Amino acid sequence: MRAERATPDAIIAPITIAGDIAIAGWTFGFEAARVFLRNGPEGWRAGLISNDSLLLPSTLVSLGMSRRDSTPFLAEVRAQEAALGPDFSARFDAFGRTAYPQAPPEASNNSAPR
């Protein structure tokens, strides 16, 4: 994530993993968000960057996780964030948009979001 977002000094915590899906907190300076990651042939890649909307079961279902699996996974995400203190969650929640990282130039001939 540091390399993809060109932020080598970013804090990446907490990280919650379930199979080939993860949600990580990303903090850089005054900006913070949650990042949805998927592990594929090229390794872990950011699928979207968002706020508390990433903690909705419907969001994870739309990203390919089953509703049954999303409930315990999201409980673990919330527990890990709570362990870091309320300031972390509040900063992630304040991220004002949902952003879709662009595919690397070698992955396609256009700049369609992944």
pLDDT tens track for 45-101: 888 999 999 999 999 999 999 999 999 999 999 999 999 998 888 999 999 888 887
Between the alpha carbon of residue 13 and those of residues 41, 50, 112, the distances in Å are 24, 15, 28
- Between these two residues, 107 and 16, which has the higher pLDDT value? 16
2 φψ region: left (φ > 0), alpha (ψ -120 to 50), beta (else): alpha
Residue 3 — very low, low, confident or very high, per pLDDT cuts 50/70/90?
low
Q: Which of 12-16, 100-104, 105-109 has the lowest mean pLDDT?
A: 105-109
pLDDT at 113 over 70: no
Give this prediction's pTM.
0.81
CA distance 114 to 100: 7
- Residues 11-45: tens digit of each pLDDT: 889 999 999 999 999 888 888 999 999 999 989 98
Q: What is the CA radius of gyration of the chain?
A: 14
